[in-house]
Structure 1
């Protein structure tokens, strides 16, 4: 449409954050693959980043990830096949299951942590320490509803 400036669509903060997240996650996945841990996709990581170390019910994983129970269930089954997680009966409710990291899953998590840290360092190097710290502080505050968490 003539007379309408379309630049905002490419430069609005939401789109820039989305593109930055995509670049960040691709870098993490690349590092994981190079380290021999390329079995998980971003969808699988949605589960693992919401999984507590002492286990989490699938219904809670679905809530945290804003996904359906069926979708989380499918991803958990795939992660079980990969040996990353397992399901055990919930000791507080025999009808429910808790999803837990396996020993292989905890090893995978250690490598994932290292890949995230390395990618964060690359980002800090690219932006400079002052800007990196300011962005991280601002994102923490915004993500937590304005609370100052620094």
Structure 2
């Protein structure tokens, strides 16, 4: 195994990957605020909306999916309920429990995010070329963990 090239130390790769991720997420939220009608959405909120899913969940389950405590999940739910992205409803199977589910505004935020991600990918294609962007994606598919849709990043980063 050869050591890293002097101008490409090993620690640079994760920093560049994180910077690329951060650039895409920052650009997404700039566009969501500018054109998408969702200026209050933050990076954590996208993970939360994805973790709630189309059929809803409980605060306990949401915390588990995100890798955060039930209390932290509850505070985030409160913020997204107040902003109109989530709602709490009675669980039809157990009146003691509440189900958290997306509102139309929450579904619109996710839909608009997906559209903007397509636009951002197109920008990267314009800057790097379609072949290079596809090669980056192919290489990351090869090297990254199999579960692309892990939603526990908030807990992983915070824990």
Match of 2:146 among 127, 139, 144: 144
Aligned counterparts of 2:57 and 2:114: Cα–Cα separation in 1: 19
Q: Normalising by structure 2, what TM-score?
A: 0.76
5+ residue gaps, structure 2, are 1-5, 148-159
TM-fit CA distance, 1:86: 0.5
Runs of 4+ in 1 over 4 A off after TM superposition: none
Aligned counterparts of 2:93 and 2:145: Cα–Cα separation in 1: 32
Matched position secondary structure for 1:113:
helix
Moved more, 86-95 or 26-35: 86-95
Aligned counterparts of 1:71 and 1:9: Cα–Cα separation in 2: 34
Aligned residues: 140
- Is contact 1:9–1:15 with CA below 8 Å preserved after alignment? no
Pick 1 or 2: higher relative contact order, CA cutoff 8 A, min separation 6. 2
Tell whether 2:27 aligns with 1:27.
yes
Aligned counterparts of 2:90 and 2:141: Cα–Cα separation in 1: 35
5+ residue gaps, structure 1, are 146-150
Aligned counterparts of 1:137 and 1:59: Cα–Cα separation in 2: 35
- Is contact 1:89–1:96 with CA below 8 Å preserved after alignment? yes
TM-fit CA distance, 1:129: 1.3
The change in CA–CA distance for 1:96 and 1:8 in structure 2 (over 3 A counts) is farther
Moved more, 117-126 or 79-88: 117-126
TM-fit CA distance, 1:20: 0.9
* Residue aligning to 1:63: 64
